[in-house]
Chain A
Amino acid sequence: MNPVENKKISISAFRLAAFLLFYIINILLFFAFRGYFFLLMGIILTLLVPCSFYMAWRLADSIEGDIRVTHKTVRPEEPVEVIVSVTNRSLFGALHSTWLLTVGNSFFQTYSDQKILLSIPPRGTKRFPMTVSMTDLGRIVFTCKEYILADLLGIFLIRADCNPEECVFVLPKREEPSQFSLPEAYSGAAELAESVRKGSDHSEVSDIRAYVPGDRPRDIHWKLSARQRELMVKERVSLSGSEHVLLLDLPPTKKKVQQLLAEGSLLVTEMLKVHMTVRLLVWNQRLYAFDSYSCGSDEELEKAFCEIFRTELSARSSTLLQSYMANCYPQLRSYMCLTVKDDTIQMEICTNG
C-alpha cells in the first residue's frame, strides 16, 4: 500500500447539516418516546460517522487514476478515445468521487477544467471512455489534477493530488497540395535531389560504418560486407550542400498560426517528395533561441511538429526574427520564410543579414 501524501479533508456543510438534522430528529424522538429502537438507531448513526470516514480514508490510499489515449498523433477531426480509469485495491468502494481533469492545448495555452463523477467499486477498475476529436493543431494534454472522494455519508470530502497525464499531438493534414511552388533558387537543388533519387549518385563517401536499420540498401558496401561478414554502409556527404532552411514566422493569431503551420507542413512534404532535406526553424521565446528541426523524411517531419507543439506558441515580429536569424546563423546566406503579410500567408526567400 502506498499512502497518498497531502490528503486534504474538507466538510460538506450542507450534508453535515442534513445528517445533523437526521441525528437530532432521532434524539428528539428518543427523548419523546424513550424507545429502545431510537437508542439503537442513535448508536448506529453515531458509529456510522467514524466508520464512513475510515472507509473513505483507507480508500484514498488505495486508488490510482490513469489516463490512456488510443492514438498519440492524429490529424484534425480524427477521433481519439481517451480513457480515464480508476483502479481500487481496497475492499471499500466509494459511491461518489469527483475527478478533476484539465484538458487543453499546451501549444496555444488554452485549458479548461472537467469533472468526472464516478462511483468506485471495491477491488476493481472503473473506466470512463470519452471519444474526442480536435479541430486545432497542437499538443492536447489530458491531466488529472486531483480527485475528491466522498465518504458514505457524503460529509467528509478527501482531496488528494494525482498526476496521470496523457497527450495527443494534432498534426497538420497532409492530403492537400501546397499552394506554394518551390522557388527557382531552389529548383537546382531539387533537380539534384531528383537525380540522386533516380540513381545518379553525385555524393562522396566520407566514411564506412556498420549497418543500422533504416539505412538505404543502395548504401550498403557489398564487397566490404562480404569480407567482414557484416553489413557495412557507406556514409555519404551530399553534394547539394546544407539543408534548406525554412523559417516559420508564427503570427500571434491562432487561426493564422494554424494556417501557416499547415502550409509549412505541406511545403516540407512536397520538398521531401523530391528528396530535399529541410531544416525547420521556429522561434522559442522561453529559450530565446530558434528551435531547429531537421526533416529528411515524413517521420522526421512529424517528430519536428511534435517538438514544435511541445513548446508554447511564441510569436515575434518578422523584422525581429530576421535580425535574430542574422545573429544566430551568420553564415547562412538565404532561407525560406513562411510568414503572414497582409493577412495572407506568403513564402519569401530572405537574404540573411
Chain B
Amino acid sequence: MAKSIWKRKSQQNIVLSEGIILSEDLPAYSADEPYSRWSNLLVRALFLFAIVTGSLGGMLSAFHISYAKWAFFLSALLAALYCATLYASGWWENVGYTLIFILALYTGLGMRIYISSGFYGILNDISSSAATFFGTEAQVNYAEQVENHFLAVSVAMCYFAIVDCIIINGLISHKGKYYSAAIPSVLFLLVPIYLEYEPAGGYVILFTLGIITVYIFRQNRYQFHRPHPKMLRKAAQKHVFYGNSSSKAAMGALLAVALLCSIVVSVTSFLFPRNTYMTDRKTSALKLQTMDTMENFYLLGIMGLINFYPTTGGLVNGRLGGVNSVRLDYEPDLNLEFVPYTFDSIYLKTFVGAEYIPYENHWSSEDKTAYAEGWEPDTARRLKEAFASDQDNYAKGLMKITNVAAVPGVYLPYYSEDTYKTIIPAAQQEYTYYPLLTGLPAGNAAPISSDLWLDVPETNLPAIADFCEEAGLSGSREEIIAGLRDYFQSEYPYTLSPGITPRRKDFVNYFLTEKHKGYCAHYASSAVLILRYMGIPARYVEGYAVDAMEIAQDAGNTDLSISDYYEGASLVPQISVVSYDASDANAHAWVEIYDEKLGWYPVELTPYRTDSEEGRTSIWDMFARLFQNGQDVNFAGTTFSEQTTETDTAKTGGASAYRLIFCLILLILVIPVWISVRKVRWMYHYHQANRSEKLLMKYQDMLRRVHVNIDTKNLAATDSRIRTANIKKELYGLKSFEEQIAWLVAHGVLTGETDSAKRLVRTLNEAAYGPREISAEAFEEAWARVRI
C-alpha cells in the first residue's frame, strides 16, 4: 500500500506554478559539458590524492625516512583514481569496493613480510626520533624481517597509500565530510609535529589543498555526481532545481586553492624559514604537561596510560610501579591540630618498608622484626627523658589528627611513643611527640638488625653499582647523602607522570637505568637501596609531609590554648594552635637513616621540581597563563619537596607575543560573530512579528542603511563620514512618517509616483498606530517599497 502511494507520488507531475507543469520527469542535465561526470570524478581523485600523500608522505618527510617516493605517489594516484570512480554509479560502488577490499587483502597477505617489515622500519625510525625528543634511553625497537629497509618501507608505503585512499574515500563519502577526512589524516602529521619535526613544504601544500578543497566543496554543496532522482524530485516539488555541476568550476577552485597554498608556503618559507622557526620556538605548555604521558604511551602503549591500583598521591603502602600518572584530588585526608615548631617539614609516618622485593616491585614490612624495629619508640623515649630534665632545649607537643578520608592506620609524628594509636576514618587521635630540635639526647640508640637494614637484592646490585660509580658517591655519610641528592636533582627530573614499570622489569632498575624520571616513591626506594649499598642502614617510609610554608599560607589559627598543645623549646615563634588539612598532595615517601646516637631520622632525597614539571593543569590553565602577564601560576598540590624553582622570566616574556596574537585573533573573530548574532536576533524577531511589526522593522532597517544608498562614494573618507553623520542627524530629526518619506523621496532613496509614497505613509501609519494588523496586500506593496 505504502509502496503504491509512493509510486503514485513519484509519478505525479511536478507543478512549477498553477497550470505550468514539467512535461518531462525532471530537467535533464545539460549537455554543454559532456565530460563533466568523469572530470568531476577526476577532481575528486585529485583532492583524495592530495590528502593521502600530504598526510602519509608528510609524516615520513618530517622524520627524513627514505623510500621510493615515485612508487608511493603512483600507487596513491592510481588508488585515488580508482576510489573516485566508485562513485560513478550505484552498482559499481558496491562491486568496486568489494573488489578493492579483496585486492587489498590479497596484496596484504601476499606481501605481508615486506609490509610488516616496512611498517616496523617506519616505527623504528619514528621511535628513534621520539627517544631523542623525550631524552630517554629506553627505546622501542621492532625486528625488521627484510634486510633492505628502503625496499620494505617503499612497499609498505605503497600499500598504506592504497588502504588510506580507501578509508578516506569512504569517510568523505557522497556528502563530502571534510572533518571525517581531516581528523584521521591530521593525526599522521600530529605525530612528527608533537615530536618537533616538521613535514616538508610540498606535503604541507598537498595536505592543506586536499582538506581545504573538501571543505569548500562541502560548504558549496557541490555535487560530484548526479543526485539520486528521488532527491531531485523531492527538491523539485519544493521548486528547487539542481543543475549539473560544472567540473570546470571545480577544477578552477582546486587550482585557485593550490595556487594560494603554494604561494603562502613559498613566501612564508622564504621570509620565515622553517629551520629558523624551529630553532626559535618554545615548547608549548601542553607539551610540557603531556610529555611524560606521551612518553609512557610511546614506551608502553595504551597500558602506559593506566593506573593499575588506586593510590593516595601515588602511594599505597609500599606498592610500586603501577602508577602511570599521579592524579591529585586536593581533598582533605587528615586534619591536623598542632603548634608549629620548625621551619622544616613535619612528617607523619604511616608505613615503613624494610625489605625490597625486586620484580614484584614492593616494600615488605611483614617481617615481625622489621615491624618492631620500624616502629620502635626508643628515640621518642630518650627525647621524652631529655625533655623532662631540660625544657630549654627539648620540647613536648600534642598533635590531634582527625582522619577525614585517609586509610586507617597510625600517623606518627616524629618522635612519638604512640605507635599503637590507629586512626580509623572519621575518628581522632591525640599523639604526644617530642621533636628533635637542636641537641641530640644523651646515650646511644637501640641497636638494629644490620642484615635487614643493609640488605640489597642481588638483582639490583649491578644497576646500583653503576649508578654509584656514575654519581661518584663516596666519602662520609653526609657527603654520600649530599652527592646522591645533587645527582638526583641534576640527572633524574621529578615528574608526576612517570608511567608504569613495564612487566618483567624491576622498579628500581628501570628507574635508575632507563626511565630516569619519577616521583617521591622512585627516589626514596632507589635511595634506600643505594644508601644500603654504600653501607648506610636505611629504610623506606611513607606518610604525609607538611611544609612549613604551606602551614603559614593555608593553616587556620584556632582559639585553642598553646600550652595545651606545646611545651618547651621551639624554633619558630609560638603564635597559636593551627588547624591544617593535609590532602593527597601531601602524601610523600622518604628515607630514614639509622644513626647510632640518634636512631632513625628522616632524610629528604626527592629533588625539587623543575620547570619541565609544572604540575598537572588543564588546557584552560594554559590559556589562563596567557593572560597572567608574566606571573607564575600557583598550582595547588605542590609539597615542600616538590616546589618549583624560580619562574623563568624569559619564558613568560616570550608568551606576551603569543598573547598579543591571540587577543588580535580573538578580536577578529568576535566582530563577525557579534554581527552574526545581531543579524540572527533581528531575523528571529522579524519572523516572530506580525505583518505590521515586520513592516516597521524593515522600515527601521532601511533608515539605518539609508546613508549607504546616498552617494558618498566620490567623497573623501572624512567627508563621507561627515556626510553620513549629517544625513543620519537630519533624517532622525524627522518625527513623522510623512516627513521621513518626503525626505527619502527628495533624496532619491525612494523613487516612484507620489501616490505610492502616500500609500506607503498611510500603510506605515496603519502599521504603527492602527488597531489591527495591516492587510497582506498593503504589506506586500509597502515591503516592496522599503526594500532597498
Contacts and interface: CB of A to CB of B under 8 A. Distances in A.
A121 interface: yes
A160 interface: no
A40 B17 CA distance: 52
A13 B662 contact: no
Contacts of B283: 34
A13 B208 contact: no
Given A31-B284, A31-B658, A33-B190, A129 B27 contact: yes
Given A20-B673, A152-B257, 10 more contacts: A20-B672, A24-B669, A29-B190, A31-B286, A35-B198, A47-B260, A92-B252, A93-B253, A116-B241, A124-B246
**Chain A: number of interface residues, binned into ranges:** 35 or more
B673 to A, nearest CB: 7
Interface residues of B, number: 72
B287 interface: yes
Interface string A105-141: 1001011111111111110111111111111101010
Interface of B: 16-24, 27-28, 30, 32-33, 58, 186, 189-190, 193-194, 198-199, 204, 208, 212, 215-217, 219-222, 239-243, 245-246, 248-250, 252-253, 256-257, 260-261, 264-265, 268, 274, 277-278, 281-284, 286-287, 619, 622, 658, 662, 665, 669, 672-673, 675-676, 679-680
Contacts of A20: 669, 672-673
The secondary structure that dominates the B interface is: helix
29 contacts: A11-B672, A11-B675, A13-B680, A16-B672, A29-B186, A31-B622, A33-B194, A35-B193, A36-B278, A39-B268, A44-B260, A93-B252, A95-B253, A96-B220, A103-B17, A103-B20, A105-B17, A108-B19, A114-B239, A119-B220, A119-B222, A119-B243, A120-B246, A126-B30, A130-B22, A133-B20, A136-B20, A152-B257, A153-B215
Contacts of B239: 112-115
Given A44-B260, A126-B246, A121 B28 contact: no
A127 B264 CA distance: 36
A310 to B, nearest CB: 17
Contacts, number: 215
Given A44-B212, A105-B18, A112-B239, A37 B246 contact: no
A86 B395 CA distance: 99
Given A96-B220, A129-B30, A112 B253 contact: no
A48 B672 contact: no
A113 B239 CA distance: 7
A228 to B, nearest CB: 54
A121 B240 CA distance: 20
A51 B22 contact: no
Contact of A110 (B17, B58, B194, B281): B17
Contacts of B256: 51, 55, 92, 152
Give the residue among A94, A110, A154 with the most B Cβ atoms within 10 A. A154
A112 B240 CA distance: 12
Contact of B208 (A40, A125, A127): A40
A121 B246 contact: yes
B193 to A, nearest CB: 4
Nearest to B186: A29
Nearest to B668: A46
A154 B220 contact: yes
A150 B208 CA distance: 21
Given A23-B669, A126-B243, A132-B22, A111 B17 contact: yes
B287 A33 contact: yes
Contacts of B33: 121
Nearest to B669: A20
B27 A114 contact: no
Contacts of B220: 95-96, 119, 150, 152, 154
Nearest to A10: B679
A38 interface: yes
A111 B15 CA distance: 12
Contacts of B28: 129
Contacts of B217: 95
Interface in A290-324: none
Interface in A142-160: 150, 152-154
Nearest to A137: B19
A127 B32 contact: yes
A259 to B, nearest CB: 14
Given A94-B249, A115-B241, A121-B249, A38 B193 contact: yes
Given A103-B17, A134-B20, A120 B249 contact: yes
